[in-house]
Structure 1
């Protein structure tokens, strides 16, 4: 529980707000008190979603469909207002830690507790699916462990089955990578079997403390879900027999929730569901709630009456007329709105800056979205180049041909940079004028050899101030999801190049190999005088060299046969406008070590099966 900030509203609808419970991707959850004394968990949509018609529509559907769900292992919806300025939904408040919090704090659950968890989740899914819903985001943080069993909460992602994909938008992926089904990760048809897959992954996590597909990065985890084999090595045999069928790649081969219940049989009465450490945390949270309720409570006031719909329409029409007159006046004065008007709001930050500028995150970013529409007084509104061939760079043009170049995750050398007294999103701004214009730079907190760079060409005006302003705007936009590259499970661009080569094969060919990223999409291994480079990239692809069979139906091009430098290059998949995603493996051996092509071919062949299917 967290105290409310000074000045925050102390009442939402008919509920007095007591404290903050937590915050998630779509909204904030607060503890509320109903007029009849019942406690509620009241979820409020984040501001950026409240003003987005698509998300508001999703929230309306959530309200309508969540009311259909009931059952012993779900938190019932009590009240909602989808038309409020900040839409909200109130459900029954239950005391206890989430499954994630419990396992993180007390370790994996014993077998009997995991069996009870499986039975309760299967019963909850039976009720959810009976109402015609799919949860779509069943995960440990959405399961509360109460003193008499678990509760499935947050139906913010649950949707009427036939409407689910229409509401989420083409190509959108909703869910948590470690507990997402292969069809959901691959934007396939999502059914109730997707929730069963999540149930299986949750049982593995509850029994071992980790998910069956969890990788070092979110893209790698998604790849493992779609293409990898579940890691069940530490799962107790009894739980493994239960979880393994749920994790079948083919949805048709997974059991139904009813079949899981039949397999488990009746739950023994009077059994304490969790280990003592978890029950201690439940009692601690009960005490926290009682202490919060002991403080002076906000005065209850009747909710204000809503404005009649007809009045709203009249007001809206009047405002529209005033706006139309103002716009007409601006046009009459001859001002160019397209060139000089300030851009739309840059978006509400939903990511911490350290996460927003991590290498994993930047691999998912479209550089031509970051500064699109940004405004500089002397340069107007920036427009990105069309048809950019580089996945981490984009050129923007403003008034009078002034250009800015944005580079994400480029290698930077601090010795050639000057320090400034400016910061952006808490990160120090560095600067270089070697290029003739001005480069503004921030280093990535997680990998300081890399940076985000905005270069301003020319010397007109104050190029360094312009570059600094643009980098500040870029960092603010990077903290939103407006810059995300369109999700494509076949793409290699989100992958970490240091994770695609088989470590055993690399170690066989390079003694004492140590990897080091050179850019977001280039990794280098060195050892024993040999150097290996792996690059995952986007651009024009030209077949150049001798054909070489890499297995799995992939033919590459080999250059440098018989020399100490050998390159294997192949096209992963073609794209429009003669572009392609492609992979390059280069082996540079020490003098006198013989040809480097056999090691290069072996390492390339080990990479092919680890890439997503094109």
Structure 2
């Protein structure tokens, strides 16, 4: 038994452990990965595995092999995931040849959906390859997410300065040893789609070094990829991560394809055989019949080898020892960010595993505002805190002795059991990058300082950016968002704008102090603290907007320009704070006038 799961048979083994076919109490089949005891004795390995189990349990999308149960504290740590009957993509292409356009629809949309879930959980797969994608009856299943990081912590297997991954399906930035973003996984998907469409890896060379050279420098031949998919595949394989599509665009790319989504007949038959073979194992209690069909037995062993990759995939990945230690990426570098970079910074990407993963495990980073992202954070020892990162926010605090990337570190701590560390990149107002730990256990300032350095390193080497549409409110320069003839009646002629942060500007005049905030954030139209309305009687559109009036007469009106994802949306928020007698009665009318002006200028830009 592994916990409450009955173990039927060993169906695969690797350097990290064994894979066993199991059955859960409700009768479902599971693949149970059991880590070797000698690895489990390594405290660093076990701590990393514990974090990866927690991370893997958050990935629950339809196109991943969902984790059902785990015990990271057992003598032999184990993890049970849904058993997936079906070949790996590599095996399917080798045996049945390239897929038609209808077959390619399934991995294109399915892998896009899987990446959305993996990235939403704050992870980067980093080892997407054809042996880590199983072809289930209703679509692909990505496996082995997060386990590669557990492997890296095992000092008996790897060492500092090693490059982990599969050369033919690495991104150029991974092959070069640079920091990774979620775009790295998108590149790997593009390489797999070329394989699925043509039967050949687009970068495979005569040797591993040649393959890596091809990944970094050569542009692949995609002429044999079906024309409807070729544009998105070419975009996935762009050398510049910023030019690659996001997972949602992968999904959208198949919408116009008319070919019916279906695996080729050979793959469908293989899935049926795998399901039957698993049933034979269970019915026999793990003992093979005396005279099994030779072809079926060999076929099942091959399928079991695929399952072994759930544990051993990272071991069999290519390892390149680098004799020279990596130089400090911040050496002789100064953090410089333009105003546009401050506005378009992808703050949640700065809480990904590729940035802060060495310090612990972020648990599903969530955007609070375009400038601010937060996550529950679990340190290797199990301590928990709330970690937030702000870019382009106002920073102020005591200057400390240490520096990061040529900038003095500021202590911005404001509460007990919390700590803030920041660096300024802009004066008047003082804007910068800030990391905060909230309700932390233990030495929260060390974590804040280490996280700040990790975040700044990423911003210096490869700043992550969002890519909103040209008409997005995120792109708006807030102090230039409204015409003078619109703002003057509300604050007085000649009142200058004062920037507050990357997305906020204030005009302090009479009869109002007007504040304009343009960003993506949590929608307020469903919050009971706000009253829903249509701005200017619906002249700006019928998206639900909302208003809040404070006891002092301050009116804040939020106009939803467009919904984005989950409970977020791009919003223009205008606040009017009365500064003169009787002004409170017209404060809300002032917000609507300014909102209309901002929307008009945005529409004409």
**Bigger relative CO (Cα 8 Å, ≥ 6 apart):** 2
TM-score scaled by structure 2?
Answer: 0.45
